[in-house]
A and B are shown apart, each in its own frame.
Chain A
């Protein structure tokens, strides 16, 4: 019989009585024990008597289907761990996963952790330069990839002396593999039943997720195996995962949602998880939900708005009655989308807020709690949150005043450092608070309301893109003299990348050049970083010391007050 009671029975009571001990006890972990996420998500579930339960149902864009039980997953992750050991990968080495959403990505992640290495997932749409920056910084030893992405790795391998192994998971012999390249076919490989799991402890590094900042290169947020404690209990309480659920997280494991809740939180709760490795199309998504009778759906506002645009008629063509809980992450979920989902599916999408750095959900809407459409919800039990003054970084006592979201450090999934960048890590903590970099206000009932970023980082479809990285790439184009990149409001993606470009003398402002520059950035960095709009200008607004004032351009795009421009050198 399905259990209709939510895992979190009352938010108020839970918030009052909660302790992380609840999660520790449920997971059977005691201080000082070995804790390995790979083991907890596979072997432990099998020991709980769920070896035959389906762990992963995977479907490719052409309809190909694969199914794996928890026992299959246990053995295949062992297989991957042994394969890496035989290659000479050591605990603590960084192993990158650069693949579409194929089963090898999911099991590769857990296999890497089982043998003690650090998993470094990267979005497969990244271009060579984005890949180079991140592999170089991490000193990555090995990379798992697919034939279709191999050229991007080959382009940069000579510049990466640390990279010893390029593992191709779908090599079919059609092209000769080169030096350092090796084929690995997970489904054909011998399944390893017994494997001595690396005895990682709470603070042993587990995952390195790269995230963009306003300035400088992307930073690797480093997590530890202890993050499991937060990820398990938030998946249980916020996503409300129960034994009988069929769960679908649409996020790509190249980003933190795809690992924290598309792998760790889901499988630590023994959920049967569905993965669709295909581009977005409304009828394909609805058909997927209908076919596998998905009960919990964790998605992103951009996708929800795209579905909303397709209307309600298409929804009626499918039997989506299996759905019982919907949640959203990545960017603020607008009130219209919440109201629409209630109309279309009979259920509202519940917004959740967290970041690469927080590792797990920190502010959320919960099953059973009153929902205020457009609000981020309330802090997760065990999380102490507030908004602090933007200048003093002291908590704002009054309701309704906009400040920066800040959290008391110490929750289990908090990142432990930025790889090779302790200095920037330390700056994220002020007056005993971790500063999220997002602005919000708190209403009289304790609900948080998102206002925007407190820096120039662009949130496009839930992905953070750093303007500096794009501006640097633009400057490498032979026609570009200088550029400034800002986020422009967009009804679908919240923000899109807009570039203001001053051309070198002798270049004409043509549509053809605009296209050439777009494609230049797309291939170098990624489609996410490609300016969706380019405006050619004669000059850019600068301070007297010559620094480009992005905020002036951003304010113009958002129709906001420009603010103090006393240091502005020129008019645009």
Chain B
């Protein structure tokens, strides 16, 4: 089974990059400040995490900072008791 890190990374690559976009995305690549996921699309990423991990992410925790990299997202999920 894929780790949380890889599941999130794969989702970001599939959903937010065009098929021809060959930019390298790592666990630390800035997603929001790097312009890969814009502030409007963040909502869909939040819904994905909530659906995938059956949680509710409080709006106060869904900040651009918390979503700015795959590693930050994994840390947020840990805070919400979602672990590998």
CB distance from B17 to the nearest CB of A (A): 8
Q: Write out the residue numbers on chain B whose beta carbons fall within 8 Å of the beta carbon of A175.
A: 20, 22
Q: Write out the residue numbers on chain A whose beta carbons fall within 8 Å of the beta carbon of B18.
A: 148-152
CB distance from A212 to the nearest CB of B (A): 15
Q: Write out the residue numbers on chain A whose beta carbons fall within 8 Å of the beta carbon of B64.
A: 279-281, 306
CB distance from B61 to the nearest CB of A (A): 13
B20 A518 Cβ-Cβ under 8 A? no
Q: Write out the residue numbers on chain B whose beta carbons fall within 8 Å of the beta carbon of A335.
A: none
Per-position binary interface string of chain B over residues 17-60, scored 1 when its CB falls under 8 Å from any chain A CB and 0 otherwise: 11111110000001011110011110110011011000000000
Q: Which of A242-250, A413-421, A509-517 participates in binding chain B? A: A509-517
B23 A530 Cβ-Cβ under 8 A? no
Known A-B contacts A61-B34, A278-B33, A281-B33; A147 and B40 likewise in contact (beta carbons under 8 Å)? no
> Whole-angstrom distance between the alpha carbons of A284 and B65 in the complex?
12
Q: Write out the residue numbers on chain A whose beta carbons fall within 8 Å of the beta carbon of B34.
A: 61-62, 278-279
> Whole-angstrom distance between the alpha carbons of A141 and B53 in the complex?
47
B43 A518 Cβ-Cβ under 8 A? yes
CB distance from B53 to the nearest CB of A (A): 12
Q: Which of B21, B32, B50 contacts A147 (CB 8 A)?
A: B21
Q: Which residue of A lies closest to B20 (CB)?
A: A151
Q: Which residue of B lies closest to A285 (CB)?
A: B33
Count of chain A residues with a beta carbon within 8 Å of a chain B beta carbon: 33
> Whole-angstrom distance between the alpha carbons of A417 and B51 in the complex?
47
Chain A CB within 8 A of B6 CB: no
> Whole-angstrom distance between the alpha carbons of A527 and B20 in the complex?
19
> Whole-angstrom distance between the alpha carbons of A527 and B35 in the complex?
12
Q: Which residue of B lies closest to A309 (CB)?
A: B63
Chain B CB within 8 A of A528 CB: yes
B interface SS class: loop
A150 B38 Cβ-Cβ under 8 A? no
A148 B21 Cβ-Cβ under 8 A? yes
B35 A278 Cβ-Cβ under 8 A? yes
CB distance from B2 to the nearest CB of A (A): 18
> Whole-angstrom distance between the alpha carbons of A506 and B6 in the complex?
33
User: On chain B, which size bracket covers the interface?
Assistant: 20 to 34
CB distance from A237 to the nearest CB of B (A): 32
> Whole-angstrom distance between the alpha carbons of A61 and B38 in the complex?
13
Q: Which residue of B lies closest to A277 (CB)?
A: B35
CB distance from A284 to the nearest CB of B (A): 6
> Whole-angstrom distance between the alpha carbons of A149 and B43 in the complex?
22
B35 A150 Cβ-Cβ under 8 A? no
Q: Write out the residue numbers on chain B whose beta carbons fall within 8 Å of the beta carbon of A519.
A: 15, 44
CB neighbors of B among A248-282 (8 A): 277-281
> Whole-angstrom distance between the alpha carbons of A125 and B16 in the complex?
11
Chain B CB within 8 A of A100 CB: yes
Q: Which of A100, A148, A280 contacts B39 (CB 8 A)?
A: A280
B47 A514 Cβ-Cβ under 8 A? yes
Per-position binary interface string of chain A over residues 115-152, scored 1 when its CB falls under 8 Å from any chain B CB and 0 otherwise: 00000000001000000000000000000000111111
Q: Which of B20, B35, B47 contacts A61 (CB 8 A)?
A: B35
Q: Which residue of B lies closest to A521 (CB)?
A: B44
Q: Which residue of B lies closest to A281 (CB)?
A: B33
Q: Which residue of A lies closest to B35 (CB)?
A: A279
Q: Write out the residue numbers on chain B whose beta carbons fall within 8 Å of the beta carbon of A522.
A: 40-41, 44
CB distance from B25 to the nearest CB of A (A): 12
Q: Which residue of A lies closest to B22 (CB)?
A: A174
Q: Write out the residue numbers on chain A whose beta carbons fall within 8 Å of the beta carbon of B38.
A: 125, 279, 527
Known A-B contacts A147-B20, A150-B20; A284 and B33 likewise in contact (beta carbons under 8 Å)? yes
> Whole-angstrom distance between the alpha carbons of A25 and B33 in the complex?
44
CB distance from B49 to the nearest CB of A (A): 10
CB distance from B21 to the nearest CB of A (A): 5
Q: Which residue of A lies closest to B36 (CB)?
A: A279
Counting chain B CB atoms within 10 Å of each CB, which of A148, A154, A174 scores highest?
A: A148
Q: Write out the residue numbers on chain A whose beta carbons fall within 8 Å of the beta carbon of B51.
A: 511-512, 515
Per-position binary interface string of chain A over residues 517-542, scored 1 when its CB falls under 8 Å from any chain B CB and 0 otherwise: 01100100001101010000000000
A511 B23 Cβ-Cβ under 8 A? no
> Whole-angstrom distance between the alpha carbons of A373 and B1 in the complex?
55
Counting chain A CB atoms within 10 Å of each CB, which of B44, B51, B64 scores highest?
A: B44
Q: Which residue of B lies closest to A514 (CB)?
A: B47
Q: Write out the residue numbers on chain B whose beta carbons fall within 8 Å of the beta carbon of A125.
A: 38
Beyond A281-B68, A512-B51, A532-B40, 6 additional contacts (C-beta under 8 Å) are A149-B18, A151-B21, A281-B32, A306-B39, A514-B47, A530-B43
Pairs A-B, 9 closest by C-beta atoms: A527-B40, A151-B20, A151-B18, A281-B33, A527-B41, A279-B35, A518-B44, A515-B47, A279-B33
Please, could you name 8 A-B residue pairs with CB atoms under 8 Å apart, sorted by A?
A: A175-B22, A279-B33, A279-B39, A280-B33, A280-B39, A281-B33, A515-B44, A519-B44
